[in-house]
Amino acid sequence: MGAVFGYTPEGPPDYGLVPPEPAPDWAPPGPYVVALHASSRRDKRWPGDRWTALATRLGQAGIATVYPGGSAEERAEAARLAAVTPGAMAAPPLGLPDAAALLAGAAAVVGVDTGLTHLAVALGTPTVGLYVATQPGLTGLHGGGRAVNLGGPGHLPDVDQVVRVLLGSSARG
């Protein structure tokens, strides 16, 4: 927008959102990562085995994984992913205010190219965007140091990349 109006923005983006508090009472009591696995386009989704591998690695580090889903199909997939990973959970149906509270209360969010991933960044939550079918240069996350974009068409992000971003360079599989 700055280029359109002839100025250079200064500092990281400030979306002006006030994070809702607290996280829903059913959210894990300790640190958790929200795994935004669903998208309206199947080609934008990260493979299920990568989600469960990521949740397993996070669980080993003492971090729970929460899988939300908007539609009945997405919630069924969330339940399937959570069922095969100890310590992971599927979120109940959520309205936007509860989803925002869940995202704001998370230690981090990992998500595919979908609106809630952008909302997480706007709320100030550290967020990793997983790009499978779209270009992060066109639709990626913008949030200063709190947003990291991985992948792109033909470059499927791997679990190790995501773990390194979330847990640091010393994290190994």
pLDDT digits (tens, 9 = 90+) for 93-140: 999 999 999 999 999 999 999 999 999 999 999 999 999 988 888 888
pLDDT confidence of 13, banded at 50, 70, 90?
A: confident
CA 115/CA 86 separation, integer angstroms: 28
Q: Could you tell me the CA-to-CA distances from 154 to 44, 50, 139 in Å, in that order?
A: 12, 16, 16
Going along the chain from its start, the domains and CATH numbers come out as 29-167 (3.40.50.2000)
Beta strands in 40-166 (DSSP E): 64-67, 88-90, 108-112, 127-131, 147-151
Cβ–Cβ < 8 Å for 23, 94? no
